[in-house]
Structure 1
Amino acid sequence: MIRSAAVRKRLRELPLHIMLLPGVILTIIFSYIPIGGIVIAFQKFVPSKGVFDSKWIGFDNFRYVFDLPNFSSVIWNTVFIAVLKIIAGLIVPIIVALLLNEVVSKGFKRTIQTVIYFPYFLSWVILGGILIDILSPSSGIINDVVKLIGFEPVFFLGNEHWFPFTLVISDTWKEFGYSTIIYLAALTAIDQHLYEAAIVDGANRWKQTLYVTLPGMLPIVTLMTVLSLGNVLNAGFDQVFNLYSPMVYSSGDIIDTFVYRLGLLQAQYGVATAVGLFKSVIAFGLIVLSNFLANRFAGYRIF
């Protein structure tokens, strides 16, 4: 009897497993089969000879990369930009969600939500062109305002000091609207009786936010924070590639753009694969750590 019930359950679930097949097949083809290319990191790879006939050189590619004078700055740029993006990507959506939660007019609230969501759906190819135009030191609207208030124009995309912060601010502007959805959902899950109790105790709107809203959002904030650790080495290739130039390599060159130049522009395939493998190993460790911390502090686990 128990066995027949288990069989019936599996038959009911069979359509769901069949629905998963296309995604599983695509994942195998595009994510697992290419893993075999990792061997290039340990070869002096020559495309004409292929993987099987190229010379094996062990860890020489890794030694070459680690000895490059600018590799340490590439690692620093990646971590610095990614960490700033993570921090801004947590703080700004939380503040916006709290502000939207106080808006009474549903029409106005929906309008604001639509406006702030819109940039998320634009690619960095489009936004890159827009930013290059509005940040231009000669004709950009931002520098027109800077000159209007009496300051010298700033070359945001050509100044090595300003470039990382320009990346962080523009990325936050693009992404925060979508992230706000998560925190608005967390706000709706807070028990309304807690607000009623706070009002009875004489709490104003600020104290309600401080002692009811923020503690109610804390679990999801903790979860999003620890899960973001896995992105510490992902500073955003699409954005940086569309905005950077040789003038800002010292502060804006990240691992992904470094790999792009080594592999596709300089044809150093083995070296580029070695850098990519190094990044993947570190990222894997960070993801494992983030999942452990998510389970430890937020009670969230994937398996």
Structure 2
Amino acid sequence: MDRADVAVAKNKAYIPKPKKKGFMFYFKRDKFLYLLLLLPVTYFVLFKYAPMYGVVIAFKEYNIFEGVFASPWIGFDAFKEVFRSDDFWRALRNTFLLNGLDLVLGFPAPIILAIIINELRSKWFKRVSQTMLYLPHFLSWVIIGGMVLQIFAPNFGLIDNVMKALGMQSIPFLTENWYWVATYTGVGIWQSAGWGMIIYLAAIAGINSELYEAAEVDGAGRLRKIWNITLPCIRGTIIILFILNIGRISMISFDRPFILGNASVKDFSDVISTYVYRVGLQSSRYNLATAVGLFQSLVGLVFLTVTNYITNKCGEEGIW
């Protein structure tokens, strides 16, 4: 090594390393962004994290007059009682069944709708279609339940009357187990598909239009452009929403099965939420209700974590 190389090496050795910028530097630089975060963070702290202290009710013989901390500890007795109940396992089975059908049949529906709407050339028809498709999302399940009763109910429902007028045998949409499951799933897809469609339309709107122009120059038709451009470009959105839906597979809303269900189909309409309402709240067994809720959350966390892990292992980008 000659003298010039030695001098260069010495100069490199004495180059001071840049100081790491601390939190205050970034806070001052992005203070308005942190200010915007204040409201949502406050919401989550107050309404999501602060109520978590109530989880201890699952391990206590909770009494509303004694309060959460004064009630006596019972350990895992509430969980043991829940797991020994046949009604709980039936409700859990129904929850997985109905949510599984919603996932298999309902998850692709907004993707298909978004692609169809995106391919429409008439702007006014596209606007009208979008409005008609996502409007059901804003309807209460009480209203939807009344509509379902008027359309599908035996003896006086619209479809039943039409079939009788045509001399056909009526179909027990709301009084036979599997027909009820099909009705439940179909109504759920109708209610939610339009709202999910908006998310995918937003993702499609972000695709570079030059990709479609290049594909058109190469002679690609509509189906080929959808398959090779649209779907790959929104794959990230599809994967994220799929992971989130898997995480909610053990969760189910109360209003939909409670309003659409009836005594004739109780073997399929009794789900975790209605079980908690009946056994936990109506019977004032709040520790049982909390135990079931905690169990649901843990199952959802496991499904979410496993699905995200598999997604990352397959080379796709998960939630984390």
Q: CA deviation at 1:127?
A: 1.7
Q: CA distance change for structure 1 residues 26 and 95 in 2, over 3 Å: closer, same or farther?
A: closer
2:47 to 5, 22, 30: 30
Instruction: Report the Cα distance in structure 2 between the residues aligned to 1:4 and 1:47, rounded to whole angstroms.
Output: 51
Instruction: Report the Cα distance in structure 1 between the residues aligned to 2:42 and 2:235, rounded to whole angstroms.
Output: 38
1:282 to 295, 299, 307: 299
**Which deviations, in whole Å up to 9, do the C-alpha atoms of 1:178-222 show, x marking residues without a partner?**
111222233333344443444444433333333333333333323
Q: CA deviation at 1:50?
A: 2.8
Q: Please tell me whether residue 161 in structure 1 is matched to residue 159 in structure 2.
A: no
Instruction: Report the Cα distance in structure 2 between the residues aligned to 1:110 and 1:181, rounded to whole angstroms.
Output: 12
Map of 1:106 onto structure 2: 123
Q: Please tell me whether residue 65 in structure 1 is matched to residue 91 in structure 2.
A: no
Q: CA deviation at 1:176?
A: 0.7
Q: CA deviation at 1:53?
A: 3.6
State whether residues 258 and 269 of structure 2, in contact with CA within 8 Å, keep that contact through their aligned partners in structure 1.
Answer: no
Q: CA deviation at 1:10?
A: 2.0
State whether residues 94 and 270 of structure 2, in contact with CA within 8 Å, keep that contact through their aligned partners in structure 1.
Answer: yes
Map of 1:243 onto structure 2: 260
- Paired residue type of 2:54: G
SS class of match (2:178)? coil
Q: Please tell me whether residue 186 in structure 1 is matched to residue 219 in structure 2.
A: no
Q: CA distance change for structure 1 residues 199 and 150 in 2, over 3 Å: closer, same or farther?
A: farther
State whether residues 295 and 301 of structure 1, in contact with CA within 8 Å, keep that contact through their aligned partners in structure 2.
Answer: no
Instruction: Report the Cα distance in structure 1 between the residues aligned to 2:136 and 2:145, rounded to whole angstroms.
Output: 12
Q: Which moved more, 1:132-141 or 1:57-66?
A: 132-141
Q: Please tell me whether residue 260 in structure 1 is matched to residue 306 in structure 2.
A: no
SS class of match (2:68)? helix
Q: Which moved more, 1:246-255 or 1:155-164?
A: 155-164
Q: Please tell me whether residue 170 in structure 1 is matched to residue 182 in structure 2.
A: no
- Paired residue type of 1:301: I
Instruction: Report the Cα distance in structure 1 between the residues aligned to 2:108 and 2:292, rounded to whole angstroms.
Output: 32
Q: Which moved more, 1:119-128 or 1:287-296?
A: 287-296
Q: CA distance change for structure 1 residues 168 and 26 in 2, over 3 Å: closer, same or farther?
A: same
Rg: which structure is higher? Answer: 2
Map of 2:220 onto structure 1: 203
State whether residues 228 and 290 of structure 1, in contact with CA within 8 Å, keep that contact through their aligned partners in structure 2.
Answer: no
State whether residues 240 and 319 of structure 2, in contact with CA within 8 Å, keep that contact through their aligned partners in structure 1.
Answer: no
Given the two structures, how large is their TM-score scaled by the length of structure 1?
0.87
Q: CA distance change for structure 1 residues 187 and 4 in 2, over 3 Å: closer, same or farther?
A: closer
Map of 1:298 onto structure 2: 316
Q: Please tell me whether residue 139 in structure 1 is matched to residue 156 in structure 2.
A: yes
Q: CA distance change for structure 1 residues 48 and 189 in 2, over 3 Å: closer, same or farther?
A: closer
Q: CA deviation at 1:19?
A: 3.8
Instruction: Report the Cα distance in structure 2 between the residues aligned to 1:92 and 1:240, rounded to whole angstroms.
Output: 21
Map of 2:100 onto structure 1: 83
State whether residues 223 and 298 of structure 1, in contact with CA within 8 Å, keep that contact through their aligned partners in structure 2.
Answer: no
Instruction: Report the Cα distance in structure 2 between the residues aligned to 1:186 and 1:29, rounded to whole angstroms.
Output: 32
SS class of match (2:234)? helix
Instruction: Report the Cα distance in structure 2 between the residues aligned to 1:144 and 1:292, rounded to whole angstroms.
Output: 52
Instruction: Report the Cα distance in structure 2 between the residues aligned to 1:4 and 1:70, rounded to whole angstroms.
Output: 58
Q: CA distance change for structure 1 residues 200 and 230 in 2, over 3 Å: closer, same or farther?
A: same
Given the two structures, how large is their TM-score scaled by the length of structure 2?
0.83
Q: Which moved more, 1:51-60 or 1:94-103?
A: 51-60
**Which deviations, in whole Å up to 9, do the C-alpha atoms of 1:271-301 show, x marking residues without a partner?**
1211111111111222333444455543243
- Paired residue type of 2:40: G
Map of 2:137 onto structure 1: 120
Map of 2:14 onto structure 1: none
Q: Which moved more, 1:160-169 or 1:70-79?
A: 160-169
Identity of aligned residues (%): 37
**Which deviations, in whole Å up to 9, do the C-alpha atoms of 1:12-45 show, x marking residues without a partner?**
5334434433433333332223222222212222
Q: CA distance change for structure 1 residues 221 and 42 in 2, over 3 Å: closer, same or farther?
A: same
Q: Give the number of aligned pairs.
A: 302
